[in-house]
Amino acid sequence: MHLSQWKYVETTSSGQPVLRDNEQDIYVEQVVGLYQGKAKMIGKQKGRIYLTTQRLIYMDDAKPKEESIALELDDITSVEYSSKFLKKSAKLILFLLKPNGSSLREDKERGFTVNWVCPICMMTNESSSDLNESLQEMPPCINCGIRADYEMLKDSISRNLSDSHGEAPNQDLGSIECPACTFLNNLYMSNCEICGCRLPTENKAVRTVGFKDSRIKVKLESSDGIYENSKSYVQLSFRKSDGTMLWQATQKVLEDRERKRNSPILNQGVTTVNGVSINEEITLTEDKLSKVGIAGLEKAQENQIIKNDILLNKALTDLNSLMNLASEIELLYDKDSSAKTATKSPFLVVDREKFLNKSLFIDEIAREVYDFIMSEFKEQKEREGVILITLVDVYALYNKSMRIGTGLVSPQELREACEKFEKLGLRDLTLKKLNNRVLCVSSGDSFDFIKGKILKIVSAVPGADLLQLTQKLNSSSSNAWTVGIIMEVLQNCVNEGNLLIDEQISGIHYYVNCDWKIN
Amino acid sequence: MTTNLPAIYSFPPLYTCQPNALIREQQLTVWCEIIVEFAKKERVWCITAEGTPAKDGGDKQSVFRNDVIQRSVKSTFIEEIWHKMIETEKALRIDSDSNYFILWRSLDSWSALILQWFESSGKLNQVITLYELIEGDETLGCEFHGMDSMLMEKCLLRLRERGRASLLKDQNKVMGVKVV
């Protein structure tokens, strides 16, 4: 039985989490194992923890697709850190919020109606409790009064989510309004589809009824020691590092979220609404019985000072709110312009500073590059079935997309990253050396594929030159095959004797070698 | 000219030195065949290094140029072709100038042919001048009719080495031959 707080997380093919809109990653911790309560979670003992602005995501190193799992930061009430002691590795304990409302079982009874068809009189019955094999006695049919066998009516059972108490259908039941953008979201969404904002949890009890995400696989080594009424918790065990960085980062994020939640969403930094000042007006009632002499003068002086103070204060608040407004507009402008360029899902920002050492950083870059190539050349892969790009092109394209947090990736780093593809289990792409000189990222036997294609074109058009070949190859699509690749393939063909060259001032023309066989 | 030569003569890559060594070897062989074929058909005994027949003036077309497909062989590659020609004894370099004799028959084969003529026409033990042998009416049907005199000399030298002929010289120049 797994905790209901575990959430399924979408992963990319290279084993990185797919982030939501407005979600940003903050820190990545390597080599972490998961515990639910006191028990080890089988299959989740070596992976990375991504701390984002909304979630804590566990990405398994070996099977990212199946074993990865996430926790919403909103579900975490507090964190506690226990340091390394003898053989016990450092752990971060996350205390979780109890799932809202009453226990699941009650919800089930309230939220469910079960329809079944009597096998004798064909009457459609409705019962409020769930029917299953373990039930001792099936409910009797309301028409004929006979208790049917479960085996006979199991096909006809259908579960409805409708309220069995016959209340008028509540609009909230079908959709949940986002508190930030008022979009009506589906019942089962936990975050707003439009803005990614966390949806309110009042209706969560209803929403979780009968809904258990089958994509989450949790197996425990032993009993987790969490009981119905006790506080549930999850532990992250740091196998390599001491984990203090993640601890501090998590704590900070949680604090920030708490602060944000408590601050009013609307009318931030406003001093007046419709001309009515929000701040309490400080009114100084002039003392009618004005004092005389030195005391009177002192009093007047005091009053004057207070008045000046108020005036200055007001002026400064106005100035401050103006500045706030300006910075907000600036922020809005930035967001708007960046939103136009990033039409796809938000990218993970890989930042050198988030990694303890270089090899971990390279690992992450490798995943990034893999994903990048796969998405960038998806069209070509679908049509041709293969990908072949020179490393130089990859370098240029990748850096052009500017996804590294601090600066660009260096050629050396890119090469190291590409060499790591196989080690990381990213098998679709490999780093190949063409003609012993040009490094290429290729999938499968792409080289033979393009070679065959070129030979076919040349035999159809004897004397074709590089330009013609490039045009023919890319006639169906725009620049799927780069000139660099085609040149290397031609070079290889000539060296192997498949093609003959005819060198002219206008360029090199290629012919298929039919007369002079080698071997 | 191209009509008399094999079809590969109009294949553009033939005129470019192929980078693949194995292919280049075959390419050179093809060139040797072409030159020999050309010389045999045109009855050209001597060709300049540029590929034009040495005699009959300069109006003749070079074998290394094909105006029909507008291709010509680069001079470095021509050198390689000549090198191959000499290596396979299809050509003989003339020391006095940079021309080449094209041997569509080897020197031994030529000398045997000449000897055969002497025997069949009953000219044994007679002095025959070189001019008679090359331009005379009696050799009109023979393959060696019209042969370059220097080449004829080399053939006759072969015969002398075998002890079948004695050469008559005048001013250090072979004028006649007596075959025994």
Surface-to-core class of residue A369, CB atoms within 10 Å of its CB (0-12 exposed, 13-18 middle, 19+ buried)? buried
Measured in whole angstroms, the distance separating CA A90 from the mean position of its chain's CA atoms is 27
Instruction: Provide the 8-state DSSP code for A73.
Output: G
The partner residue sitting opposite B18, judged by closest CB among A463, A500, A509, is A500
Q: What pLDDT does residue A341 have?
A: 43
- State the Cα–Cα distance between residues B156 and A494, nearest whole angstrom: 48
Q: What pLDDT does residue A277 have?
A: 64
CB count within 10 Å of CB A345 equals 14
The whole-number average pLDDT for the span A319-344 is: 70
Pairwise CB contact (< 8 Å): B19 & A494? yes
**Res A298 pLDDT > 60:** yes
For tokens 């009855």, name the residue: B43
Helix (H) or strand (E) holding B179, with range, is strand B173-179
The arrangement of secondary structure in A354-512, i.e. its CATH architecture, is Orthogonal Bundle (1.10)
Phi/psi of residue B10, nearest 5 degrees: -100, 20
Measured in whole angstroms, the distance separating CA B54 from the mean position of its chain's CA atoms is 11
Pairwise CB contact (< 8 Å): B11 & A495? no
Q: What phi-psi label fits residue A473: left (phi over 0), alpha (psi between -120 and 50 degrees) or beta?
A: alpha
Question: CATH number of the domain at A113-160, please?
Answer: 2.30.30.380
pLDDT per residue as tens digits for the range A258-293: 887 776 666 666 666 666 666 555 555 555 555 677
CB count within 10 Å of CB A177 equals 15
For the residues of B70-123, what is the DSSP string, one character each? TEE--HHHHHHHHHHHHHTTSEEE-SSSS-EEE-SS-HHHHHHHHHHHHHHTT-
The whole-number average pLDDT for the span A383-392 is: 81
pLDDT band at residue A159 using 50, 70 and 90 as cut-offs:
low
Q: What pLDDT does residue A255 have?
A: 86
Segments of chain B with pLDDT less than 70? 1-4, 56-60
Q: A262-266, A409-413, A489-493: which range is least confident on average?
A: A262-266
Residues A143, A147, A149: CA angle, nearest 5 degrees: 125
pLDDT per residue as tens digits for the range B49-71: 888 877 765 556 788 888 888 88
The whole-number average pLDDT for the span A373-397 is: 81
Pairwise CB contact (< 8 Å): B23 & A500? yes
Global model pTM greater than 0.80: no
For tokens 């393959």, name the residue: B143
Asked whether the beta carbons of A97 and A5 are under 8 A apart, the reply is yes
Q: What pLDDT does residue A370 have?
A: 85
- Domains of chain B (ranges; CATH) run 2-102 (1.10.10.570), 107-179 (1.10.10.10)
**Res A392 pLDDT > 80:** yes
Q: What pLDDT does residue A432 have?
A: 84
**Res A240 pLDDT > 50:** yes
The partner residue sitting opposite B12, judged by closest CB among A497, A502, A513, is A502
Q: What pLDDT does residue A130 have?
A: 67
**Res A306 pLDDT > 70:** yes
- A270 against A425, higher pLDDT: A425
Q: Which two tokens stand for residue A155?
A: 């096909």
The CA distance from A496 to the nearest CA of chain B, in Å, is 7
- A353 against B134, higher pLDDT: B134
For the residues of A435-488, what is the DSSP string, one character each? TTTEEEEE-TTHHHHHHHHHHHHHHHSTTEEHHHHHHHHTSSSSSSS-HHHHHH
Residues A216, A80, A33: CA angle, nearest 5 degrees: 40
The CA distance from B35 to the nearest CA of chain A, in Å, is 18
Pairwise CB contact (< 8 Å): A515 & B15? no
Q: What pLDDT does residue A439 have?
A: 86
Asked whether the beta carbons of A406 and A48 are under 8 A apart, the reply is no
- State the Cα–Cα distance between residues A209 and A114, nearest whole angstrom: 14
Q: Judge whether B76 is closer than 8 Å to chain A, CB to CB.
A: no
Q: What pLDDT does residue A340 have?
A: 44
Q: Which two tokens stand for residue B29?
A: 């062989």
Instruction: Provide the 8-state DSSP code for A166.
Output: -
- Name the nearest CA neighbour of A29 among A73, A61, A65, A71: A61
- State the Cα–Cα distance between residues A368 and A348, nearest whole angstrom: 9
Q: Judge whether B69 is closer than 8 Å to chain A, CB to CB.
A: no
Pairwise CB contact (< 8 Å): A497 & B8? no
Q: What pLDDT does residue B69 have?
A: 83
Q: Which among A168-177, A242-251, A350-359 has the top mean pLDDT?
A: A242-251
pLDDT band at residue A463 using 50, 70 and 90 as cut-offs:
confident
Q: What phi-psi label fits residue A463: left (phi over 0), alpha (psi between -120 and 50 degrees) or beta?
A: left
Q: What pLDDT does residue A345 have?
A: 43
- Name the nearest CA neighbour of B174 among B146, B144, B151: B151
- Search chain A and give the residue with CA nearest B70: A504
Question: Which 3 state secondary structure label does DSSP give B118?
Answer: helix
**Res A104 pLDDT > 50:** no
Q: Which two tokens stand for residue A42?
A: 């089988």
Average per-residue pLDDT in chain A?
76
HSE-CB for B14 with a 13 A CA cutoff: 24
**Res A454 pLDDT > 70:** yes
Task: Tell me chain A's radius of gyration from C-alpha atoms.
Answer: 33
Asked whether the beta carbons of A418 and A369 are under 8 A apart, the reply is yes
Paired residues of A28 in beta bridges:
A50
Question: Which 3 state secondary structure label does DSSP give A57?
Answer: strand
Q: What pLDDT does residue A339 have?
A: 47
Edge-first strand listing for the sheet containing A124-127? A124-127, A113-117, A158-160
Pairwise CB contact (< 8 Å): B26 & A516? yes
pLDDT band at residue A111 using 50, 70 and 90 as cut-offs:
low
Task: Count chain A–chain B contacts defined by CB atoms under 8 A.
Answer: 41
Measured in whole angstroms, the distance separating CA A339 from the mean position of its chain's CA atoms is 17
Q: What pLDDT does residue A412 have?
A: 86
Asked whether the beta carbons of A199 and A150 are under 8 A apart, the reply is no
For tokens 């982030």, name the residue: A19
Q: Please, what is the end-to-end C-alpha distance for chain A in angstroms?
A: 67
**Res A496 pLDDT > 80:** yes
Asked whether the beta carbons of A364 and A422 are under 8 A apart, the reply is no
Asked whether the beta carbons of B100 and B82 are under 8 A apart, the reply is yes
The arrangement of secondary structure in A6-99+215-259, i.e. its CATH architecture, is Roll (2.30)
pLDDT band at residue A99 using 50, 70 and 90 as cut-offs:
low
Q: What pLDDT does residue B112 have?
A: 87
Edge-first strand listing for the sheet containing A438-442? A388-390, A438-442, A430-434
pLDDT per residue as tens digits for the range A186-213: 777 777 888 777 777 654 444 444 456 6
- State the Cα–Cα distance between residues A486 and A450, nearest whole angstrom: 8
